Amino acid sequence: MTKAYVALENGQVVEARSRAPGRTRGELVFTTAYTGYEESLTDPSYEEQILTFSYPLIGNYGVREERFESDRVHPRGVVARELTEDVAEWLGREGVPAVDELDTRDLVTGIREQGAMRCGIAAGPDATPEDAEAELAACKGMSEHTDIGSQVSVTEPVTYNAEGDGPTVALVDCGAKGSIASSLVERDAVVKQLPYDATASDIEAIDPDILFISNGPGDPENFEQAAALVDAFVGELPLAGICLGQQVIANALGGETEKMEFGHRGVNQPVLDFRSEQVVMTTQNHGYTVSDPGKLDVTQINVNDDTPEGLESEELNVITRQYHPEANPGPHDTLGFFDDVLGMVDSPPTVER
């Protein structure tokens, strides 16, 4: 067995098996998802993180490109109890170090008790504990990477469904999952996907019906240009956001955000909607949350910890969700969000800027 080592910020160095060689570092987080490993591994919101799967076997239905959420693997490293050959070979081709045959239950418990922590990994024939510790020593926190949007965003505008008959959506790409654009296109919207640092003039040039801020990695306060777009167009255009997008919109409208201890990551997060009084199951991947909604109303909360999951303002024509309504691979309880977003075009803001 080719050995690997995982060095943790709490002082632990864990021995494992190397499945894809290399050295790497990042913030160690975990997901409770038991399916959807292809979607998770290609989700741009995992940029600069080390992803631990709490489910013990990852890869038992192969690897199919049509399930990918982007064009590459985004976590800097992967940790699992057991990886199949298909997944290990895929990660090796992608150049992403991966390890298994370690006690992921202990890792997950440690993250839950101590919070997400920095991590260094060394895997391969010549790997040593000291190599992993050196990676850990060089690891910075995600909040320090103020340019993280440039690593996950398109660099030029991209149009989907140009001949569509529905509303035109300006999708500001802070690390957007592919299924967000797909969910809008399925409803015949025209989607104009723009770089994370798009300007107000870029938005005006395409004359959209809706401004949509996507999900993405890291601290929402680093996405200053996206927040500036919210400030520029609130009260003029309907505004929508998912995940990081909710946080950016809340910050721009007088709210505040904060880092969570270990975040929400998985496909089984329960959310209570105040209006329907129903609980829906959701897919989530975020390490920050809205602590003060500012000018927005909290309409949904996480059942486990009461953090805001839905924010809205009828007056300003704003609707956001902390979870991922597009949900791939599921559950699909919340796909109606996209109908609500497109329906905002018929309900203009009722207050002046």
Q: Which of 38, 243, 309, 312 is catalytic?
A: 243
Tokens found for residue 164 = 């569509």
User: Quick check: is 286 catalytic?
Assistant: no
C-alpha closest to that of 71 among 201, 170, 158: 158
Read off the pTM: 0.95
Tokens found for residue 116 = 């997400």
- Cα–Cα dist 55/81, whole Å: 8
Domains by residue range for the chain, with CATH:
3-140 (3.50.30.20), 148-346 (3.40.50.880)
> Other CB atoms closer than 10 Å to residue 22's CB: what's the count?
19
Q: Residue 212 — very low, low, confident or very high, per pLDDT cuts 50/70/90?
A: very high
161 among annotated binding-site residues: no
Q: What is the percent of the chain where pLDDT is above 90?
A: 92
3-class DSSP assignment, residue 322: coil
216 among annotated binding-site residues: yes
253 among annotated binding-site residues: no
Whether pLDDT at 239 is above 70: yes
343 among annotated binding-site residues: no
Beta bridge partners of 7: 13, 120
- Cα–Cα dist 9/133, whole Å: 9
DSSP annotation of 198 reads -
DSSP letter for each residue of 30-90: EE--SS-HHHHHT-GGGTTEEEEE-SSEE-TT---GGG-SSSS--SSEEE-SEE-HHHHHH
287 among annotated binding-site residues: yes
Pairing of strands 117-123, 168-173: unpaired
- Output the pLDDT for position 143: 56
Whether pLDDT at 85 is above 80: yes
Average confidence (pLDDT) over 44-50: 96
User: Quick check: is 139 catalytic?
Assistant: no
- Output the pLDDT for position 282: 95
218 among annotated binding-site residues: yes
> Other CB atoms closer than 10 Å to residue 241's CB: what's the count?
29
Q: Which of 74, 264, 286, 324 is catalytic?
A: 324
User: Quick check: is 326 catalytic?
Assistant: yes
